């Protein structure tokens, strides 16, 4: 009987991309991949450390896994394993802790999944070199695949621990991106999502991020190309032109602004002002009226006054933003902001977070309501228990639709009939 492996992913889309790579390797080695809650011989937890909350979520998850299945071989890999190894070692039952540099090679450190008396720690120096990713067996279900093109970050925003957890910026070899893209498309994926920590800074030999996008757009069988979160100062205007003129490059941008207040942005060591950010997204929305532009906002940064918080609320409400992912500032060891004075009380942080969430929901609802009556292209990704299909439109609106002609992994056109809180309803139309 084959050994079984299960996988948990915490955190960002890049982690999702990497978990897919790791699990494909387990499959190629003869493991059966089972649901994350099922009993398994090996359980890999791909961790996140972006906030204190992420750290504690990881520790809780490890304990939960071990409670459910004390004999499973537990490997914790990735960002929290890189900088929180000491805390993880205190949890009895972990067998393997692997930092960022070697996380994709987790299988190389498991001869037999036998519980170890002490966790083995693998944490090598992170390089700045370009990288490739070994070819994979791809027999997992298909629709949309994350394609990792970059890792690490040199920006050193004052609140962010990611440069410590992921290391310096480095890019994947251009030809290796093309190779994997072709492999993913041949395996049936209709959509590729470009992922990395700071993808706009992609740089390999003479190639830039824009070159990666242009190269992928030349692959005739690729139906959709999506860009995941991208830093404001790294988006070339030409990308917006490409997006406006292409049926393949999705009209969807996620651009983290973090704050609407210039003093807070400067203290965060972000590389732009509010008005520069606004000017850019207004240009993008003018050029691509149906684009969905979303953002990340952080509340409770040290010295965030009531007026500064209000500036973030105003920005969200008045700029062409469809919604914001709201994060609460948390002090991370080693970052510049952890030494800043005038921390915001947790009570205020809670209230501000709730307020910004509320405004974000309002904006999202408005965006969804504006889309009623529009005909959008949607990819059928999952079937709900009641038989209806759900998936995302080109501009990243979740749509639910019911039609007996539908099946998995179809790109169809549908008219939006109704807006709901978390998705829109649609009905299929013949294009
Ligand atoms: S750009 Fe700033 S927030 Fe994003 S990973 Fe780099 S340092 Fe962190």
Fold of domain 375-429? OB fold (Dihydrolipoamide Acetyltransferase, E2P) (2.40.50)
Predicted confidence band at 114 (pLDDT cuts at 50, 70, 90)?
confident
Q: Which CATH number fits domain 4-122: 1.10.1060.10, 3.20.20.70, 3.40.50.12160, 3.30.70.360?
A: 3.40.50.12160
Which among 155, 197, 277, 327 is the best mutation to test ligand 1's pocket, defined by most ligand atoms within 8 Å of the CB? 155
How many other CB atoms sit within 10 Å of the CB of residue 42? 21
| Average pLDDT of the chain, as a whole number | 95
pLDDT in tens, 300-324: 999 999 999 999 999 999 999 999 9
pLDDT value at 143 more than 80: yes
pLDDT bracket for residue 139 (50, 70, 90):
low
- Which of 22, 25, 43 has the alpha carbon at shortest distance from 34? 43
153 lines ligand 1 (CB under 6 A): yes
Q: Which helix (H) or strand (E) holds 23?
A: helix 13-28
What is the spatial order of strands in the sheet that 191-195 belongs to?
144-148, 191-195, 224-227
Q: Decide whether any atom of ligand 1 lies within 6 Å of the 265 Cβ.
A: no
Ligand 1 contact via 151 beta carbon (within 6 Å): no
Is the CB of residue 198 below 6 angstroms from any atom belonging to ligand 1? yes
Band (328; pLDDT cuts 50, 70, 90)? very high
144-370: CATH homologous superfamily? tm_1862 like domain (3.80.30.20)
CA-based torsion, 73, 74, 77, 81: positive or negative: negative
What's the pLDDT band for 430 if we cut at 50, 70, 90? confident
Range(s) within the chain of domains with CATH label 2.40.50.140:
375-429
Q: Is 163's C-beta closer than 6 angstroms to any atom of ligand 1?
A: yes
Share of the chain above pLDDT 90, in %: 90
Q: Which two tokens stand for residue 335?
A: 């970052």
Q: What is the pLDDT of residue 113?
A: 84
Distances in Å between the Cα of 181 and the Cα atoms of 187, 275, 415 are: 10, 37, 30
pLDDT of residue 58: 97
The answer to whether 168 and 126 are in contact (CB under 8 A) is yes
Ligand 1 centroid, distance to 399 Cα (angstroms): 31
CB of 157 within 6 A of ligand 1: the answer is: yes
Size of the chain in residues: 431
Question: From ligand 1's centre to the CA of 270, what distance in Å?
Answer: 9
Question: Residue 182's pLDDT is what?
Answer: 95
Q: Which of 146, 141, 109 is nearest to 124 (CA)?
A: 109
Q: What's the gap in Å between 157 CA and the centre of ligand 1?
A: 6
Ligand 1 atom closest to residue 231's alpha carbon, by position in its atom list: 1
- The per-residue pLDDT for 406 is 93
Please write the tens of the pLDDT for every residue from 62-89. 999 999 999 999 999 999 999 999 999 9
- For residue 184, give the nearest of 229, 149, 218, 136 by alpha carbon: 136
Digit-coded pLDDT (tens) for 235-245: 999 999 999 99
**Which mutation among 13, 83, 153 tests ligand 1's pocket best, with the greatest number of atoms within 8 A of CB?**
153
The residue contributing the CA closest to ligand 1 atom 1 is 155
Check pLDDT > 90 for residue 431.
no
């Amino acid at each position: 009987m084959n050994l079984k492996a299960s996988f948990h992913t915490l955190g960002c889309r890049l982690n999702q991309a990497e978990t897919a790579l790791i699990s494909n390797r387990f499959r190629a080695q003869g493991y059966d991949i089972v649901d994350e809650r099922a009993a398994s011989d090996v359980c890999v937890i791909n961790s996140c450390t972006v906030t204190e909350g992420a750290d504690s979520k990881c520790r809780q998850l490890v304990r939960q896994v071990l409670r459910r299945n004390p004999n499973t071989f537990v490997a914790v890999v990735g960002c929290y394993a890189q900088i929180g190894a000491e805390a993880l070692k205190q949890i009895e039952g972990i067998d393997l802790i692997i930092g960022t540099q070697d996380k994709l090679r987790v299988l190389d450190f498991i001869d037999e999944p036998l519980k170890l008396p002490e966790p083995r720690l693998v944490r090598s120096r992170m390089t700045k070199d370009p990288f490739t990713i070994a070819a994979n067996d791809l027999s997992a279900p298909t629709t949309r695949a994350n394609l990792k093109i970059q890792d690490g970050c040199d920006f050193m925003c004052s609140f962010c621990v990611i440069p410590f957890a992921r290391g310096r910026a480095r890019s994947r070899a251009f030809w290796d991106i093309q190779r994997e893209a072709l492999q993913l498309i041949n395996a049936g994926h209709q959509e590729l999502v470009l992922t990395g920590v700071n993808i706009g800074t992609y740089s390999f030999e003479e190639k830039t991020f824009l070159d990666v996008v242009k190269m992928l757009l030349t692959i005739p069988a690729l139906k959709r190309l999506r860009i995941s979160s991208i830093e404001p100062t790294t988006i070339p205007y030409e990308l917006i032109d490409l997006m406006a003129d292409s049926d393949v490059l999705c009209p969807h941008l996620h651009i983290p602004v973090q704050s609407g207040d210039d003093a807070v942005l400067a203290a965060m060591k972000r590389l732009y002002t509010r008005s520069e950010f606004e000017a850019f997204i207004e240009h993008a929305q003018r050029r691509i009226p149906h684009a969905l532009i979303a953002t990340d906002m952080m509340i409770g940064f040290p010295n965030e006054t009531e007026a500064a918080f209000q500036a973030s609320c105003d920005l969200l409400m008045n700029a062409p933003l469809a919604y914001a992912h709201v994060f609460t500032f948390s002090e991370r060891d080693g970052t510049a902001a952890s030494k800043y004075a005038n921390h915001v009380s947790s009570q205020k942080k809670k209230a501000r977070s709730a307020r910004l969430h509320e405004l974000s929901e309002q904006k999202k609802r408005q965006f969804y309501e504006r889309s009623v009556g529009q005909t959008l292209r949607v990819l059928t990704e999952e079937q709900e228990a009641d038989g209806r299909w759900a998936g995302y439109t080109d501009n990243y609106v979740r749509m639910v639709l019911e039609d007996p002609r539908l099946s998995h992994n179809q790109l169809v056109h549908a008219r939006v009939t109704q807006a709901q809180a978390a998705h829109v309803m649609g009905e299929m139309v013949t294009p």
